[in-house]
Amino acid sequence: MLRALLLLSCLYLPGELLGRRLLRKGDGLAEALLLRACAALAVAIPVLVLLAVSGLFTRAFVGGALAAGALLAALLVRGTGRWQRPGRWDAAAFALVAGAFLLYALPAEYVINSRDPGVYTLFAARLARTGELLHHDPLVGAVSAFHEFVEGRKYPGFFILGEDLIVPQFFPGPFALLGFGGLLAGIWGILYVVPVVGALSVGVAYALGRELFGGWAGLLGAALLGASYTQIWWSRHPSSEVMAQFFVLGGLWLAVRFVRRPEPLTGLLAGLLLGGAMLVRVDGFLAAAALPVLFSWDVAARRPLRPWLFPAVPLALCGVAALLYLNTAGARYLYILYAEHGLREALRAAPLALAGTGLLVGGLLWVRHRWGRGLEGWAAARGGRVAVGVALAVAGVALWAYFVMPEPWESLPENLRGFDAYRSQVVVRMVWFVTPPVAVLALAGLLLAARRPERGLAVFTGAVLAFGVLYVAVPNVAPDLPWATRRFVPAVFPGICLFAGYAVSKAGGLAARRGGRRAGAAAGALLAALAFGWTAHVSAPILTFQELDGAVGELARVEREIPEGARVVYMEMPSGHDWTASTFEYLYGHPVLPYDRVRFILEADELEEARLLRDAVYVTTDGGPAPLVSGLRFVEVGRQRLAVPRLVPVEGHESRMRNRVEILRKDYRVFRIEEER
């Protein structure tokens, strides 16, 4: 407990030192604490990633590195900064964050490798236990001469580089954050990282909404986000989506402040947070989509450019680090992106993009030379019309994607499994999760906000549109609901909710001006009740359901049946698949080799020559007997059953979504391998 408190203190201390210097007039106590959380994680994410990739992810190194970050922060900002008094919105903001955490505090016990959250959990568990993210597996090296792993994977999401180096499929940021939770409190610390980050994301969404649209809009938008199906679902799963959402929203909040009033520390931390999103997800760079546009505007308008160095440097460093990881340890992930996620097509268009960039740069310099000093006046006079025109175009495309683009459901076969399945229905399926009233209000909010364009709104809208346009054009996500929503979690769903909150607040204000304060309050309350009520109705089926409830305890009982000191544990499973073989290796530290029954029989002689059958254990997972191998005897030493609930994924139309639960069952039989005499 004491070590956990010391680690938490080291994590928080840079945020305490930097957060005070970020405060501005009008901030309340909620903003003060949220700024500290943003600053703390902005400093922590590159440090934790570097230690994880370097194999130094131990309590001593993590605590020392974070303490060094705190010392550097103390040298960077001198003085005490502001002390903030409670504001009028603080109680509601704190209630919102606390309520969100209560909703999310039923974490999915994803200690099985059935989907991506299992990969994140198990790698994080091993990272916290051994201090290494990338590691050599001696068993893989021992069998590499005669045993071929399907697609170069020991397990799904566990890639083999070279002869025996095991690397995770995804970017290192989530493993580092989850691993920090593991250093604090073991497997439960890992599982509770995302619920905590999810609740903080709701708070940051409120702060961002208040910064852009005012207190009521921020509060309602954050409440809609916090109670939404997707936020509840993904805030309970140990995966990258909500962690990326925190860095995106925190980075946008500080970036909005920076472009309105450039300050070095604000720009630096905005760059670190947006750069942190790049270390968490491969698409994190989309969050900063508007910043190059605003920089180009400043170039053309002959505004000062030096302040842009503060966000640009950390953004560039994090971007280079992400590319370096992707082209070395993440090479297999890069190939998946190239072959399956549209990177091949993007690279084919690269020459055209470079030519277009050259033309834009030339045009920019020409505009700067010809009209640079008059651009600010032109923007003040006509910028609103241009922004409204762009917003109308976005609204038109969104309505087309909802009403015209989708193919009729009757023409599609049921239960399609391909990643391009239901591609034309992507907007229809996503609207079901955000709810139609919220989607309509969001379009109205976008149009209303466009009437008064400003730099902060451009930063926010650019990020929302970058994610939204890309993943509507190239959805390429799992076909089953709710897993198909994941690409829209970091920015699109929060943006929709905040725009909807703004529309409600403006509708209430308009009604108040026309019919008095009571009419305004009634109109706002009615729209808010409609949006929130529909959101709660959609989310209701999963409020009390916990995915894989009891899996940690059930698997611990199974693990106790495996004899201590076994040099090799052979887990029987079909080639290229996995459920719990990786669990016993990465969570509990057993030396595991996954094997198909037939291949084990065929390769038994080679395994004997490699001395991998001595002090070995064979485990079946379907209650079946051990294989028959000449010269070997299998003695049963343990048996245990596993039964955990999970929500049935649904392909096809969202109207088929029900809270249907299935039980995942496994029947383990543990055999000690002995030579026949």
In this structure, of 21-30, 406-415, 485-494, 667-676, the range with the lowest mean pLDDT score is 406-415
Confidence of residue 77 (pLDDT cuts 50, 70, 90): confident
Beta bridge partners of 366: none
Average pLDDT over residues 168-182: 93
Q: Is 322 exposed, middle or buried (0-12, 13-18, 19+ CB in 10 A)?
A: buried
Q: How far apart are CA 36 and CA 20, in angstroms?
A: 8
Q: How far apart are CA 528 and CA 123, in angstroms?
A: 42
Q: What is the domain partition of the chain in residue ranges?
A: 2-94+178-542, 548-675
Cα→Cα distances 268→568, 579, 592, 652, Å: 49, 43, 45, 44
Q: Are 125 and 51 in contact (CB under 8 A)?
A: no
Which run of H or of E encompasses 518? helix 517-539
Q: Which of these, 466, 520, 20, 61, lies nearest to 274 by C-alpha position?
A: 466
pLDDT digit string (tens) for 295-329?
888 887 777 889 999 999 999 999 999 999 988 88
In this structure, of 51-65, 287-301, 330-344, 484-498, the range with the lowest mean pLDDT score is 330-344
Q: How far apart are CA 123 and CA 169, in angstroms?
A: 10
9 pLDDT higher than 70? yes
Q: Which of helix, strand or coil describes residue 459? A: helix
What angle, rounded to 10 degrees, do the helices at 29-54 and 240-260 form?
Answer: 120
Q: Which of these, 113, 107, 212, 221, lies nearest to 158 by C-alpha position?
A: 113
Stated pTM of the model: 0.93
The first and second tokens of residue 603, run together, are 């390769």
pLDDT digit string (tens) for 391-418?
999 999 999 988 888 877 767 666 665 6
pLDDT given for residue 184 in this prediction: 92
The first and second tokens of residue 80, run together, are 């005490």
- Alpha-carbon dihedral 68, 69, 70, 74, rounded to 10 degrees: 100
The first and second tokens of residue 289, run together, are 């989509």
The first and second tokens of residue 417, run together, are 């499994």
